[in-house]
Structure 1
């Protein structure tokens, strides 16, 4: 076939392919439009693929995200990971996409009679706000940490448990006591109060838990939820002991080890050893300023699932690879 004839044939194949693949006409319609039979159009479409006029790629952005989820689960031994595309953050510092993604992960693993334990913080508050409404009258949401104070509004445990219970259509139990007490004696006495001890025990026996991941370290300041109790002495102690993160009121170093500080025994929250016994513990966090903290939480073994966004997932995996 001469070059001119070949170009003419390729032009025809392009016309046929565009009518079929881009304009959405079926083979009979293409045949009618160009004056060919349907079998001829079928043969030309096959020829177009052989000649490279048409290439078909089966792909979707979610495939990329699913690959990151599988890698996070493999590297850190997680039961589940959920990665969403990066989106602008809302008023609570967490994107609606991430909050909905974490909420969907939670709903996939609990049922109508579930007990869900929640910590405080912006991320968990955002998940509660964006959680799809259910009609689960036998469900229960339980605060697993004390209250940081009324000024934190939707970020505080009592408000989060109430908000999430409304979304689920069920009940809630709060810990209407301070997160950190001024003295060890007060904290010890409060832990023995029936309402407090029962709530903590219920949280420990929950079907799933939802927690934020706080970043601690030079240039990051301290978490707003802990600020009132982080005296210069405690801050210096955290710095000296290499604290980089906190989850559920507990401080962690870069290797994920629990770091005991001056406020540990005065903090009213679910113990880490009991947190690890909950079937699914979902950590929710995103942002370049939280990469080290998220890595520490993952290395701790206390989390069994993570919800984050794509840039954060890649940064965490890169940092972990560099550490190994």
Structure 2
């Protein structure tokens, strides 16, 4: 109609309607209810439902993110699964035109990892989240989670904002699932064993540590033994970093140190970190590693060879580097033929919905 202003923004909602707008938005965006159904439930007109949805977006009650779906490399995914006896392997295609480096690659991996993990989690599970940028990015990608408690598996980096992000990741996942959050408000690396022992006895820290044995699914970041590529590496002194490098350390996951062959290397660091231990991690039924980038390829390969991971989400460049001369996934060479601890993967068929979902993503 001539003279009408169709571009005007919705008016600012009064405080009394903010809660109503949030409830309406939840029904529409999360519960997939129609505007007709919502209008009947709240006894308001369809016009008002539409205006409340507009206002919810305009005032930041609802945030809508548009993301480009990741392209999955089906052949590399299958090859990684075969090579390492994994339950799930998702390899995201990253082309030469895409940004390089672990942080930009993480942004490509996180949405896909979030989808996979959300489908894997079942009601009553206890979900463990390690600290790290990759895991925090995955948690940001969660839209829905079944009812489950969420436990932080490692302390935080005291000198970086990632610490706050790690705690928030646990709280966000628990809020989505309706479960209880068990964050750890303590540094990952302490100066000595005595300090670590004292902190472990504090009620606010002892409680989440007691939950480690109940974790059924864990999400772990993987670090390379270089500056900015590992929270543990960045927490140590230059002399300590070099000491561990001389021991052959190439990778770190949850403060566990790995050599090139995938062996966990015991060290005095084990006594002064707040983190899930190697034996505890090995007893968790499903452990998902999320890491990518050519700079981390050697580290990802080392952790995969340890047998601690049951699933991995990575990128094509890292996968090609890891598979080396055997892109089909068939073991080749002396190093790959040596026996290593493996998870029992015979129960893959017991999770048909997850398997079918993965096959759908893989084309």
CA distance 1:66–1:155, shift in 2 (3 Å): farther
State whether residues 297 and 303 of structure 1, in contact with CA within 8 Å, keep that contact through their aligned partners in structure 2: yes
Aligned to 1:176: 185
CA distance 1:272–1:319, shift in 2 (3 Å): farther
Aligned to 1:108: 119
- 1:293 lines up with 2:304 in the alignment: no
> How much does 1:186 deviate?
1.6
Q: Distance in 2 between matches of 1:91 and 1:241?
A: 25
Aligned to 2:16: none
Q: Distance in 1 between matches of 2:309 and 2:143?
A: 23
Aligned to 2:39: none
CA distance 1:99–1:302, shift in 2 (3 Å): same
Structure 1 runs not aligned, ≥5 long? 1-60
SS in 2 for 1:263: helix
Q: Distance in 1 between matches of 2:297 and 2:272?
A: 28
State whether residues 157 and 235 of structure 2, in contact with CA within 8 Å, keep that contact through their aligned partners in structure 1: no
What are the superposed Cα offsets for residues 62-103 of structure 1, whole Å, 9 maximum, x if unpaired? 7x7233222212211111111222274699534444111111
Number of residue pairs aligned between Structure 1 and Structure 2: 258
What are the superposed Cα offsets for residues 280-323 of structure 1, whole Å, 9 maximum, x if unpaired? 10000111111100000000111111001222222211167465
CA distance 1:125–1:102, shift in 2 (3 Å): same
Aligned to 1:267: 273
What are the superposed Cα offsets for residues 88-140 of structure 1, whole Å, 9 maximum, x if unpaired? 46995344441111111112211233211011111111111112234x4x422
Aligned to 1:277: 283
Aligned to 1:236: 242
Structure 2 length-normalised TM: 0.64
State whether residues 158 and 187 of structure 2, in contact with CA within 8 Å, keep that contact through their aligned partners in structure 1: yes
CA distance 1:91–1:310, shift in 2 (3 Å): closer
Q: Among residues 87, 98, 102, which one is paired with 1:79 in the alignment?
A: 87
Q: Which stretch of structure 1 is more off in the superposition, 125-134 or 172-181?
A: 125-134
User: Looking at CA atoms only, which structure, 1 or 2, has the larger radius of gyration?
Assistant: 1
Q: Distance in 1 between matches of 2:317 and 2:237?
A: 33
What are the superposed Cα offsets for residues 138-189 of structure 1, whole Å, 9 maximum, x if unpaired? 4221101112126324775323212333444443111111211222112123
Q: Among residues 188, 198, 202, which one is paired with 2:197 in the alignment?
A: 188
Q: Map residues 312-323 of structure 1 onto 2, 5 A cutoff.
A: 312-318=318-324, 321=332, 323=335
Q: Distance in 1 between matches of 2:242 and 2:306?
A: 22
Q: Distance in 2 between matches of 1:111 and 1:290?
A: 31
Aligned to 2:9: none
Aligned to 1:129: 140
State whether residues 286 and 310 of structure 2, in contact with CA within 8 Å, keep that contact through their aligned partners in structure 1: yes
Q: Distance in 2 between matches of 1:154 and 1:195?
A: 16
Structure 1 length-normalised TM: 0.72
- 1:204 lines up with 2:213 in the alignment: yes
Aligned-pair Cα RMSD in Å: 2.6
Q: Distance in 2 between matches of 1:142 and 1:291?
A: 28
Q: Distance in 1 between matches of 2:154 and 2:214?
A: 15
SS in 2 for 1:81: strand
State whether residues 127 and 217 of structure 2, in contact with CA within 8 Å, keep that contact through their aligned partners in structure 1: yes
SS in 1 for 2:206: helix
